[in-house]
Chain A
């Protein structure tokens, strides 16, 4: 089962909830039938779950994009590769073929289409994947190479690698911020999306868009965690009520969470938060169970 934690807007507490849930399940999951736990940090632009979970990293491997490599001895400079490329990533100028790594999306179309079979592929680094473990949690965290646009690709490969060893596991996936293709890549294949929203009009605007994507387009069951829930604003709860979306948990403004997060410690600690997070898990497990 894959439970993704997402939020359209940064700073809403997504990683706090994701790491909190993983740690709560680690401490008490066995009673709930959770024997294997996997944590995937898909926020590849600015991965931060590792600062809280502090896994022991056991292996690091490059994440690669397959970039065309032209064999000049076979190439006739017919220009067909440049015609088929939708991203302008390959160009034929006079007697030379140029490849632009930052535009290429590794679709392989040029290689498939080359009439001379002159285009092979070679790996081009777009990120680094760190695999580790903390307690009984297996962790996977990827970091995008600065300057690369291949966010979705890094996310897909990170997930694929993590899922190779996730049979019968509960997988907690920390999603990238925003509502564009990176989030699609993270949420695809999930069983449930926890949407974390800060209790302000800005949080509501983001939540609306996250619901449109996760629930309306990807057809995932969703529930909401209201963060920094305080008097003076009830827009998030009203929205959930109108749209029949369950409120899974309310987290009050808590200076201790803030200071723990800033210091790189788990924010949602203590018996009350742990119980609340386990209840969130049980509710989700009951909903997605076959």
Chain B
């Protein structure tokens, strides 16, 4: 089993298009498991027409809750909270759920033990079937924290499934950015693709991403998307720093049409498909070559 993960510095550069395309091409010759590790914006399900098999709640993180009857309104909780999450509420104090980080400082400081900690229901994760392989995906509930734990969880579920079913490939669509969720997605991938969209800041963004993934010990390669001109700076940077450039996907109206049709762009013949096919040719080469 080999893992391919796709990340990008910013959103909207085409991670999901590439992930769906690679999964479609890989599924033509091998057994694939798909992971949507972008739990804040799980969009692989919009391009792969999944059929839901199972749905599970995800519990994680914690939340302080004040018992208004026991509260003596001394205000100590309000004073110690550094997140502005405890506010006066009529004759007592109350926790603003979306601001609470679950640190417990208020619980320990409350003189009358009126505060307790509760587990939060932070999201849902799914196991689905698609014509390209089983898909593991999740939705973080809006406003919740700890999305890196949920990322790790869907990855583990998918990895276990892939091992049990002797899958050849795990293809992972990652979250944008360089914070913990993205690093959780990057961990353990043999092929880590950093997708770089056009822009005058592309090289500095790529540098920040490389700095972040190196911290988790990952070796990254680069794919360019939607560059019509000016990609030389990124190409030169990759050449100078010994980073493999796996390909360049041109701007192609077929990508939008595929999104509207809800299918991988590689289902039809077009320039983007040619490029993704060439990238898949690079990715599928036996490890070590």
A288 contacts partner chain B, Cβ-Cβ < 8 Å: no
Residues in B56-107 with C-beta less than 8 Å from chain A: 62, 80, 82-84, 98-99, 101-105
Q: Are A12 and B259 in contact (CB under 8 A)?
A: no
Identify which of A146, A149, A261 gathers the most chain B CB atoms within 10 Å of its CB: A146
If A177-B176, A179-B142, A209-B142 touch, whether A202 touches B102 (CB-CB below 8 Å) is no
List the A side residues contacting B16 at CB < 8 Å: 202
* Nearest CB of A to B155, in Å: 17
Contact of B99 among A51, A148, A188 (CB under 8 A): A188
Question: For the complex, what is the distance from the CA of A154 to the CA of B81, rounded to whole Å?
Answer: 17
Bound CA span A181–B41, Å: 14
On chain B, the residues within 8 Å of A264 by CB distance are 199-201
Q: How far, in Å, is B65 (CB) from chain A's closest CB? A: 14
Flag the segment in B7-15, B234-242, B269-277 that touches A: B7-15
Complex Cα spacing A246 to B199, Å: 31
* Chain B positions within 8 Å of A202 at CB level: 16, 41, 43, 46, 259
With A86-B103, A147-B215, A206-B41 known as contacts, the answer to whether A109 contacts B12 (CB < 8 A) is no
- Of residues 51 to 78 in A, which have CB atoms within 8 Å of B's CB atoms? 51
A48 at the interface (CB under 8 A from B): yes
The answer to whether B80 touches A51 (Cβ under 8 A) is no
| C-alpha spacing A278/B145, complex, angstroms | 35
B176/A181 in contact, CB under 8 A: no
A164 at the A/B interface (Cβ < 8 Å)? no
Residue of B nearest to A189 (CB): B84
Chain A min CB distance to B47 (Å):
9
Known: A202-B16, A218-B98. A84 touches B104 (CB 8 A): yes
Query: Across the interface, do A179 and B143 meet the contact criterion of CB distance under 8 Å?
Result: yes
B260/A233 in contact, CB under 8 A: yes
Name the residue among A10, A109, A212, A218 with the largest chain B CB count within 10 angstroms.
Answer: A10
Q: How far is the CA of A224 from the CA of B29 in the complex (A)?
A: 44
Chain A CB count within 10 A is highest, among B40, B80, B99, B211, for: B40
List of 7 A-B pairs having minimum Cβ-Cβ separation, nearest first: A11-B12, A10-B11, A107-B103, A213-B142, A109-B105, A178-B40, A10-B12
| Residue positions of A touching B, CB distance < 8 A | 8-12, 45-46, 48, 51, 84, 86-87, 105-109, 112-113, 144, 146-149, 151-152, 156, 177-181, 183-184, 188, 198, 200-202, 205-206, 209-210, 212-213, 217-218, 232-233, 261-264
B contacts, CB < 8 Å to A: 9-13, 16, 40-41, 43, 46, 62, 80, 82-84, 98-99, 101-105, 108-109, 117, 140, 142-145, 147-148, 175-180, 197-201, 205, 208, 211-212, 215, 230, 256, 259-260, 262
New A-B pairs, 17, CB < 8 Å, besides A10-B11, A11-B12, A209-B41:
A10-B176, A46-B205, A48-B10, A107-B101, A109-B108, A113-B108, A144-B179, A147-B212, A156-B84, A178-B41, A180-B40, A200-B256, A201-B260, A205-B41, A205-B46, A206-B41, A209-B40
